[in-house]
Amino acid sequence: MDDRGQVSAEFLFLFGVLILIVMLAIVFAANEQELNIAMAAARSGANEGLATSSSAMYPEDTFRDYSNSKTSLLYPYSVEIVNVSYSELGHDANYDKKRIQFRVYAKTSERFDTSELVSIGDRINYNLRKSVAQSFNSTSSTNRLYNPVFSPHYVYTTANVKWV
């Protein structure tokens, strides 16, 4: 009996298992890459939202509202992004994707009332969502406020900014 055929069969079996492992690793890495892109876009968008707020660039209707009731928001102020994090909220049956919610932690050295902090937080969250939508080229599949934002495997929302 010649045993050369046995080595070939074992090699093919080992090679098949390695291919299976590599394919599973690629799927896992692709999902992680998608979250990494979203997280980088979220940080960039939060910082952009902060920059546009502190340079007082607002849409006309927002500027009018701030001129009448929140004049302190029209001038540069000191707000700092402390952290941007996300949490997975499970499967969203409406979109058949996993839900991810971003939360921005920020602080300020100035005294703002609650409604002013909400306005600053809304600007930060709007730009965060916009940046994520642009990074996945999904601006056409969301609404005017970019809420929610979609990627191939996830649907993204934002929680109110947490002031620390």
- Render pLDDT for 46-89 as a digit per residue (tens, 0 to 9): 988 887 765 555 667 777 777 777 766 666 567 889 999 999 99
Chain segment 89-144, per-residue pLDDT in tens: 999 999 999 999 999 999 988 788 888 888 888 889 999 999 999 999 998 888 88
Kindly report whether the peptide bond that precedes residue 152 is cis, defined as omega within 30 degrees of 0.
no
> What would the mean pLDDT of 24-44 be, rounded to a whole number?
89
Cβ burial 117-147 (10 Å sphere, 16+ → b, else e): bebbbbbbbbbbbbbbbebbebeeebeeebe
Check residues 2 and 161 and name the one with the higher pLDDT.
161
In the prediction, which pLDDT does 151 show?
Answer: 92
Which residue pairs, CB below 8 angstroms and at least 24 apart, start in 28-36? 31/153, 34/151, 34/152, 34/153, 34/154, 35/86, 35/100, 35/154
In the prediction, which pLDDT does 36 show?
Answer: 93
The pTM (predicted TM-score) of the whole model is: 0.77
Is 66:119 a contact under the CB 8 Å cutoff? yes
Crossing angle between the packed helical segments 4-54 and 114-135, to the nearest 10 degrees:
140
In the prediction, which pLDDT does 144 show?
Answer: 85
In the prediction, which pLDDT does 112 show?
Answer: 83
